[in-house]
Amino acid sequence: MKRIYLSSPTMHGDEQRFVAEAFDTNWVAPLGPNVNNFETEMASYTGCGYAAALSAGTAAIHLGLKLLGVEQGDVVFVSSLTFSASCNPIAYEKAVPVFIDSEPDTWNMSPAALEKAFEKYPHPKAVVVVHLYGTPAKMDEIMRICERHNVPILEDAAESLGSTYDGKHTGTFGRIGVYSFNGNKIITTSGGGMLVSGEEALVQEARILSTQARDPARHYQHSRIGYNYRMSNVIAGIGRGQLMHLEEHLRLKKAIYQRYREAFSDIREISMNPLNPRGDANNWLSCMTIREGCDVTPDQVMDALDAENIESRPIWKPMHLQPVFAGYEFFNHNESGVSVSEDIFARGVCLPSDIKNTDADMDQVIGIVRGLFNR
């Protein structure tokens, strides 16, 4: 039985050409022409200014927090509805994560909940804003709040490469931005990430820290702790080839989302994940929620798809509900009761969003889901 994936890598052939160049020139190392060119090409595409290619998006978030001066005991605000990589690096530095709820309009960080957090903690060291599933957050409101408190933003744009807000790329609003090239992202290097900034000094410091923070001396001398976080020249070649096809991937992802939206438009119990009207989402994953009180549950949808060898998955479980972060503070968008992020998690499903899905694949997925609601 054919496997239909949630979101798997799509290769085009250009990747092999750049990888072959790395082998042919013996640049099989965590530096080299592919790394340099991938950084330049990403900076040009996003308009970020400067970029450092790293081993993972998580590594980029970790270095970003260090560059913003996050230390033990510092408070860092972070979106709760996200993957754990958004906040694990806060724990690496023994800082204190404070989780911020989502708002219902985009599923991203709630400006109202952020205001509540600032009332209790007026001087956090940083705010980590996630663009969930590729949909841009309400950056104008969030930026105004953070600017008023003079607190820097680190944008976790791991899921939103290619998304824009008011015509500007996500990842370029904060002082530091982060992208991921994990295997299921809109473009991939198999594993890898990128730290970007409009400040050249920050990016240069990231490069130093990512190569074990070696001092500029003939001998190997280290005056501070560094990390082995630099991207390989081989996988940077994959990234260069993938970037050439990003616009194609964006078009196909958008078509998948629109196909689902149209297919379920007559089923009152189903809503697709909302988009920001001021943004252009990359539609990395298309998601649906089921109306509260409906007889059909997210587990039933996922079980029905799984029975036909079709991959789907739940919405991210909010970080404030995770056992590893039990006891850390959370600020609700609502005045009381169930939070927005908990509600989305309880009612949501991530649908197959692989750009290699054929029309027949999409018809099969849609038919299975519709069948559950038309019984």
The class level of CATH for 14-243 reads: alpha beta
Q: For residue 375, what pLDDT band results from cuts at 50, 70 and 90?
A: low
pLDDT reported for residue 369: 98
pLDDT reported for residue 374: 82
User: What residue spans define the domains of the chain?
Assistant: 14-243, 246-373
| Residues 92-132 pLDDT 10s | 999 999 999 999 999 999 999 999 999 999 999 999 999 99
| Residues 57-103 pLDDT 10s | 999 999 999 999 999 999 999 999 999 999 999 999 999 999 999 99
261-266 contacts, C-beta under 8 A, 24 or more apart:
263/366, 263/370, 264/288, 264/366, 264/369, 264/370
pLDDT reported for residue 30: 86
CATH of domain 246-373: 3.90.1150.10
The overall longest dimension of the chain from CA atoms, in Å, is: 74
pLDDT reported for residue 192: 97
* Partners of 177 in beta bridges: 155, 196
pLDDT reported for residue 145: 98
Residue 217 has pLDDT above 70, yes or no: yes
Burial of 115 (0-12, 13-18, 19+ CB in 10 A): middle
Q: Please, what sign has the CA dihedral across residues 138, 140, 143, 149? A: negative
Q: For residue 176, what pLDDT band results from cuts at 50, 70 and 90?
A: very high
What average pLDDT is seen over the chain? 97
CA distances from residue 359 to 47, 66, 233, 260, 276 in whole angstroms, order as listed: 35, 46, 37, 12, 27
pLDDT reported for residue 29: 87
Tokens for 79, please give them: 């979106």
CA-CA distance, 143 to 149, in Å (whole number)?
10
Residue 142 has pLDDT above 80, yes or no: yes
Closest CA to 291 of 264, 260, 316: 264
Q: What is the dihedral of CA 196, 286, 282, 322, to 10 degrees?
A: -10
| Residues 288-328 pLDDT 10s | 999 999 999 999 999 999 999 999 999 999 999 999 999 99
Q: What is the mean pLDDT of the segment spanning 364-369? A: 98
Q: What is the dihedral of CA 319, 323, 329, 335, to 10 degrees?
A: 70
Residue 204 has pLDDT above 90, yes or no: yes
pLDDT reported for residue 214: 92
Closest CA to 288 of 228, 333, 352, 238: 352
